[in-house]
Structure 1
Amino acid sequence: MNRYQQGSLFKAKRKGCSDVWVFRWYDYSSGKRIYKKKIIGSVAQIRSKREAEKAVAALRSSINFDIGTPHTVCELPAHYRVHELTQEKKSFSTIDNHRNLFKRYIEPRWGSLRLGSIRTLEVEEWLHSLPLAPASKAKLKCVLSVLYNHAIRYQWLTFNPISRVRTSQRRLRDKDVLTPEEFQKLVQQLSVRDRAMVLLIGSTGLRRSEMIVLTWLDLNTRTMEVNILRSCVRNRFGKMKTEASCRPVPFHPVVLNAPLVWRAQSPYAMDLDFLFPSPRLKGARPLSPDSILEKSIRPALARIGVVGKQIGWHTSLIRWRRICAHSVSTLRSHRS
């Protein structure tokens, strides 16, 4: 078994330009020891060795991902990525979010420390110092705790110091929601396509990643249910976020007419076509929900005099779900 290696970080001189930081290590992936090196950045960009160490933290962890027991925090995410953060076990959104948190927050601050040297109060103070919303801090704490639970599962540690870190998920401000009157005025301002989209997501509580990939075959008008079979996050199609999310979702009969009117006008009305296809891509891919929100829904809200509210797909439609005949708990109990 190959031993852990820290690699070597040094400053190299260049002719005709500023010096650069270089990281070198040995690669054993081919069965042979191969000397490799990579330029991290120029001295003008990275002025101190401490900054260069932070920049090389992720690369240093990747050269040890298939070797024995991790010793530092930076080595632990590398092992977790390979054994747990896979498409077979996690959804694409979970994988992407975890990787971003590793790279942006966890590895730069804690990567160089040994696994057993992290203290609960230090992590708590660090989280409080970050310019993030309480919910984002709680999510960051959760991801860091998952890493330590992973280490405990492999019997590298016996205690999770993150489990005692205190965080709050209390919102800095209340969510902005539309009243029933505002919602009804909004629907009247929208096109046939956008009206069907808003009514469907408003009455069922679908995630936007689930809504945009619906096909006409997924809309069961006989049982009055929407079959949720896939999702699309950042233009990537994949499985559902949770197994419970795959259950069919009932929708109210009042909502049925809007999708049917849109289907009669849509140039892509076959069973396997998307409900909300992109005209620019000739129906090959669905529309972007962010684009609809910016170009259609928010301008419509401005026209009816709704200003000063931060409107998103879920926050704006909560109130409408309350006036549907089915209760939110019946419609989307598995979303809790």
Structure 2
Amino acid sequence: MKGAYLLFKRARFQFGSLRTKKRANGPDAWEFRFYEDTGGKRIRRYITVGRASQYPTAAAARKAVQALLLKINSDAPQRALVGLTLGTLMDRYIQEELPERYSTRVSYLSLLNRHIKPKWGDIPLDRVKAMVAEDWLKQLDLAPKTKAHIRSLMHLLFRCAERWELMETGRNPIALVRVKNCTKRLKRPRVLTVEEFYKLLPFLREPYRTMVITAQCLGLRVSEIVALRWSDFDFERLTLLVERSAVKARVDEVKTEYSRDEVPLHPDLAHILLEWRERAPFRGDTDWVFGSPITGKPYYQEHIQKAHLREAGKKAGLGAEIGWHTFRHSYRSWLDETGAPMKVQQELMRHASIQTTMNVYGQAMLKSKREANSKVVEMALRGAPLPREVAPAIAAR
């Protein structure tokens, strides 16, 4: 009976204790003490919160451990957490729920630290109101799409609060918040014509020129281009498996599960890539196709865009707005010109869906994708300044 009593006994909420601790080497620091149940035993734990100079008062140090308090009291009655702030909720979310994919983490942390925390960090959860949040979003000098991302992230934070039983289920205030025109762009994406694409190439040196040709011929995201390995290509079957991405030389999975796919490789593009392989600093099967000769890692795409693409665009008389995504937008536009069916375009772009109803039609056959892709490649390569070995092959077609 005693065991049954212990089984159903409600855990007590613990607040822990703070004290400053002198260190032999270095400045004084705040130490937080609490208990942790391990194997049926209650063990005292100690963690260093930060330097005393970093948190000049006990209140400031106490605020820094609020996220930890949420975790160690997960089985305790949460009504003891009166005045739980959104900032505390953010801290626990960052510790436990932040996505692992590097680019997503960076994006989320930017939205949290630059926008959400400065405005809402000290506000208790129960005082966040839908209309106040909606009016705040309206006043932000940001693109509608960015506002929608902020709204979605705030909604996710409150969903976590519901799951952690920090608030009643179904009381998420952000569920009522609207962001108008969030699917509209502030300015139209730049799309190159075939003639403009030809004008650009002479002002690009290797490997950026081959990277741009690859981008325009396949519609890949730049994060996928810089993460290509030679082993991803099957030059006999003329296919490429897109299965990873890289942002700031950090290699990760592709953006979505739909992005991981096999795409057709046109013979002329394959020839250009093989010709580049003969001159590339890294040629082994597991080597990066476009690895930096300085670091041996994938290139930083932002630097290439700023120092090479934009400069080439200006020299070609196309303006300074040429970026990596210009070629993905152009690829999509050129697919339209070929008359490719919408479902084939969706497969080649590797989007989850162009229109929701398109999903019921099944996957496009590789033959159909190859035909549509070939037409775009021929538009991109016919008339472009190419290596001597490739030009006769195209002229003979």
Change (3 A) 1:200 1:6: farther
* Per-residue Cα deviation, 1:306-333 (whole angstroms, up to 9, x for no partner): 12x5222113442244335666323024
Give the distance between the partners of 1:126 and 1:273, measured in 2 at CA. Answer: 48
SS at match of 1:157: coil
1:328 and 2:345 aligned: yes
Query: How do 1:214-225 and structure 2 match up within 5 A?
Result: 214-225=228-239
Deviation, 1:57, is 9.8
Give the distance between the partners of 2:248 and 2:66, measured in 1 at CA. Answer: 26
Deviation, 1:302, is 1.6
Provide the residue aligned with 1:131 in structure 2.
Answer: 141
Deviation, 1:72, is 2.4
Deviation, 1:108, is 2.5
Q: Please give the root-mean-square deviation of Cα atoms over the aligned residues, in Å.
A: 3.3
Provide the residue aligned with 2:85 in structure 1.
Answer: 72
Deviation, 1:276, is 0.5
1:186 and 2:200 aligned: yes
Change (3 A) 1:207 1:260: same
Deviation, 1:203, is 2.6
Change (3 A) 1:184 1:84: same
Deviation, 1:148, is 1.2
Q: Structure 1 regions of 5+ residues with no counterpart?
A: 9-21, 44-48
Q: Give TM-score scaled by structure 2 length.
A: 0.68
* Per-residue Cα deviation, 1:72-102 (whole angstroms, up to 9, x for no partner): 2122223333443253xxx222223222322
Identical counterparts, % of pairs: 30
**2:305 pairs with 293, 305, 312, which one?**
293
Query: How do 1:129-168 and structure 2 match up within 5 A?
Result: 129-155=139-165, 156-158=167-169, 159-168=171-180
Query: How do 1:50-65 and structure 2 match up within 5 A?
Result: 59-65=64-70
SS at match of 2:71: coil
Deviation, 1:197, is 0.7
Larger radius of gyration: 2
**1:115 pairs with 102, 121, 125, which one?**
125
**Which moved further from structure 2: 272-281 or 91-100?**
91-100
Give the distance between the partners of 1:115 and 1:42, measured in 2 at CA. Answer: 24
Deviation, 1:61, is 3.8
Change (3 A) 1:65 1:153: closer
Change (3 A) 1:250 1:172: same
Q: Is the 8 A contact 1:202 1:321 kept in 2?
A: no
Q: Is the 8 A contact 1:212 1:275 kept in 2?
A: yes
Q: Is the 8 A contact 2:155 2:172 kept in 1?
A: yes
Q: Is the 8 A contact 1:148 1:160 kept in 2?
A: yes
Deviation, 1:119, is 0.5
SS at match of 1:248: strand
**2:324 pairs with 295, 305, 313, which one?**
313
Change (3 A) 1:99 1:83: same
Structure 1 residue identity aligned to 2:130: T
Deviation, 1:289, is 1.5
Deviation, 1:138, is 0.9
SS at match of 1:26: strand
* Per-residue Cα deviation, 1:227-264 (whole angstroms, up to 9, x for no partner): 12222223322222322222223344443232122112
Change (3 A) 1:3 1:122: same
Provide the residue aligned with 1:26 in structure 2.
Answer: 32
Deviation, 1:35, is 8.6
Q: Is the 8 A contact 1:231 1:238 kept in 2?
A: yes
Q: Is the 8 A contact 1:216 1:275 kept in 2?
A: yes
Q: Give TM-score scaled by structure 1 length.
A: 0.79
Provide the residue aligned with 1:173 in structure 2.
Answer: 187
Deviation, 1:299, is 1.9
1:246 and 2:263 aligned: no
Q: Is the 8 A contact 2:224 2:242 kept in 1?
A: yes
Deviation, 1:201, is 1.7
Deviation, 1:265, is 1.5
Provide the residue aligned with 2:392 in structure 1.
Answer: none
Change (3 A) 1:152 1:195: same
1:303 and 2:308 aligned: no
Give the distance between the partners of 1:270 and 1:222, measured in 2 at CA. Answer: 17
Deviation, 1:142, is 0.5
Q: Is the 8 A contact 2:247 2:301 kept in 1?
A: no
Provide the residue aligned with 2:219 in structure 1.
Answer: 205
Deviation, 1:146, is 0.8
Q: Is the 8 A contact 2:238 2:264 kept in 1?
A: yes
Change (3 A) 1:173 1:39: farther
